[in-house]
Amino acid sequence: MKKKIAVFGSLTKDIFVLPRHNKKIIQEGKEYFALPYGGKVIAENIEEHFGGGASNVSIGLQRLGHNSIVCGAIGDDRIGENIISHLKNEGIETKYIQKIENKKSGFSIILNGYDGERTVIFTSQANKRFISYNFNILTEKKIDALYLCHLSSEKENIIFSGLENFLDENPKIIFAWNPGKERIEMGIEKNKKLLHRCNFLFMNSEEAKKFTNENIKENIVKKILNAGVENVIITDGGNGAFLYSKENTLFFSPEQQTKKDTLGAGDSFASGFFASFLHENDLQKCGKYASMNAASVVSHIGAQDGLLTQKRLYK
């Protein structure tokens, strides 16, 4: 059964570059993407794609049989127009995307390594000017679920306050959240109002450690669940993912696939999981479908080309 889902987050145009002679170097325990300094470096491959959390997740949900409504911001430029056209071509509702005058749309350059990992150089631009939101619109749309990606907005606190009130006033709406860097650095205490209303919290293992200020898995999970989260899903790349709740501890093994680009792996996992849950699959199947979706995405360049359709994923 189709569900109506509002997706909040960033919208970008992405340029992927595979530069020749790139290397991974390690200094003081940290990994760096390295290129020869000075002169010119040949690009073995360059591709243009669309990205941003709201775009990635909304398309993932739409292809898997739901109706997505995107809430984000674009600039008054050609890239913004292209982003809207791209989303409309996927069947996604775009009328609630804000167009920011005299601003450029979000843009990223992704440097791909030979091992499929990447370094992202980005500018948020219009995404930072996403302004306070009239959540009554979503009440009128009668949405079934809301998915919150990383918000780059300078008005984030105002938006979050409105979102918290909206979710409290609409307890039947299923809420999923993938926090961004700023919210993770704030930690659990400053996010408790939203966490207590969270049905699904998605984050990777490093984010979970920073969010809880813990390194031991049991302590990480305990802190998050005690904050009121119903289900927390912690991904760990090629090592698979775990779901934790008061009732369950489930492991989702990774699907084997040739890795070309890891950008969008988290978004594709989350959209595959959430879409499957909204189709009333059990949690173990949701994890399997999520892993399949993510494996398909990392076998392509870009965060969206590999997103599976309902027919391909649920065959």
Element counts in the chain: helices (H) and strands (E): 11, 16
Identify whether the C-beta of residue 219 lies closer than 8 Å to the C-beta of residue 196. no
pLDDT at 308: 98
3-state secondary structure of 161: helix
Mean pLDDT of 247-251: 96
* Banded pLDDT at 137 (limits 50, 70, 90): confident
Question: Tell me: the pLDDT tens digits for 16-25?
Answer: 999 998 889 9
pLDDT at 170: 95
d(C-alpha 147, C-alpha 215), whole Å: 27
pLDDT at 233: 98
* Banded pLDDT at 204 (limits 50, 70, 90): very high
Identify whether the C-beta of residue 192 lies closer than 8 Å to the C-beta of residue 228. yes
Q: Report CA torsion sign: 255, 264, 67, 312.
A: negative
pLDDT at 64: 98
Residue 210, domain member (yes or no): no
3-state secondary structure of 141: helix
Compute the half-sphere exposure of residue 29: CA atoms within 13 Å on the CB side of its CA.
0
Residue 35, domain member (yes or no): no
3-state secondary structure of 218: helix
Question: Tell me: the pLDDT tens digits for 260-299?
Answer: 888 899 999 999 999 999 999 999 999 999 999 999 999 9
pLDDT at 256: 83
| Beta strands 200-204 and 249-252, pairing class | unpaired
Concatenated DSSP letters of 236-293 = -GGG-EEEE-SS-EEEEPPPP---S--TTHHHHHHHHHHHHHHTT--HHHHHHHHHHH
pLDDT at 260: 87
pLDDT at 179: 96
Average pLDDT for the chain: 94
- Whether pLDDT at 202 is above 90: yes
Beta strands in 35-152 (DSSP E): 43-51, 67-71, 73-75, 98-100, 106-112, 118-123, 145-148
pLDDT at 155: 78
Its pTM stands at: 0.94
Residue 87, domain member (yes or no): yes
**Two tokens, residue 218:** 């049991």
* Banded pLDDT at 59 (limits 50, 70, 90): very high
Query: Which residue segment(s) compose the domain that 292 sits in?
Result: 4-11+52-107+124-177+255-313
**Phi then psi dihedrals of residue 303, to 5 deg:** -90, -5
Identify whether the C-beta of residue 262 lies closer than 8 Å to the C-beta of residue 116. yes
pLDDT at 136: 82
- Whether pLDDT at 244 is above 80: yes
Of all residues in the chain, what percent carry a pLDDT higher than 70?
Answer: 100
Residue 153, domain member (yes or no): yes
d(C-alpha 66, C-alpha 291), whole Å: 19
| H/E element, 200 | strand 200-204
Q: Domain containing 158 — which CATH number?
A: 3.40.1190.20
- Bridge-partner residues for 232, per DSSP? 201, 244
Which of 149-163, 169-183, 246-260 has maximum average pLDDT?
Answer: 169-183
Residue 235, domain member (yes or no): no
Position 255: which residue type? Answer: E
Residue 156, domain member (yes or no): yes
d(C-alpha 263, C-alpha 305), whole Å: 11
Question: Tell me: the pLDDT tens digits for 66-115?
Answer: 999 999 999 999 999 999 999 999 999 999 999 999 999 999 999 988 88
- Whether pLDDT at 154 is above 80: no
**Two tokens, residue 231:** 């289900």
Residue 296, domain member (yes or no): yes
* Banded pLDDT at 132 (limits 50, 70, 90): low
Q: In terms of C-beta distances under 8 Å and separation of at least 24 residues, what long-range contacts does 235-240 make, across chains too?
A: 235/202, 235/203, 235/204, 235/205, 235/265, 235/266, 235/269, 236/204, 236/205, 237/204, 237/262, 237/265, 240/291
Residue 218, domain member (yes or no): no
Of all residues in the chain, what percent carry a pLDDT higher than 90?
Answer: 82
How many structural domains compose the chain? 1
